[in-house]
Amino acid sequence: MDTRSHTTTVYKVTGMSCGHCEKAIGEELGALDGVTSVTASAKDGLVTVDASTALDEEAVRAAIDEAGYELVGRA
């Protein structure tokens, strides 16, 4: 049984406008250690990240930047 902690964090992201945007962010964030799922909503400008451990916000910012979008902060 997995006894590690689980975290869910919602981030406000600007620049998303379509499904391609959502996919690009999902791929970049999904590559971070510990991330178990990513749900991005271009309509709401929100990205929900489930992870097995707390994520470093600078790593999240860098991944979102790499995808071509901007992390505003936690929602």
Query: Could you read off the pLDDT of 12-36 as tens digits, one per residue?
Result: 999 999 999 999 999 999 999 999 9
Share of the chain above pLDDT 90, in %: 91
Q: Which helix (H) or strand (E) holds 50?
A: strand 46-51
Count how many domains the chain has: 1
Per-residue pLDDT for 7 more than 50? yes
40: Cβ contacts below 8 Å, ≥ 6 apart: 13, 16, 21, 22, 23, 25, 26, 46, 47, 48
**In angstroms, rounded to a whole number, what is the distance separating the alpha carbons of residues 14 and 70?**
5
pTM summary value: 0.91
Give the residue numbers spanning the domain of 49.
7-74
pLDDT at residue 5, rounded to an integer:
75
Three-state SS at 58: helix
**Which CATH number does the domain housing residue 26 bear?**
3.30.70.100
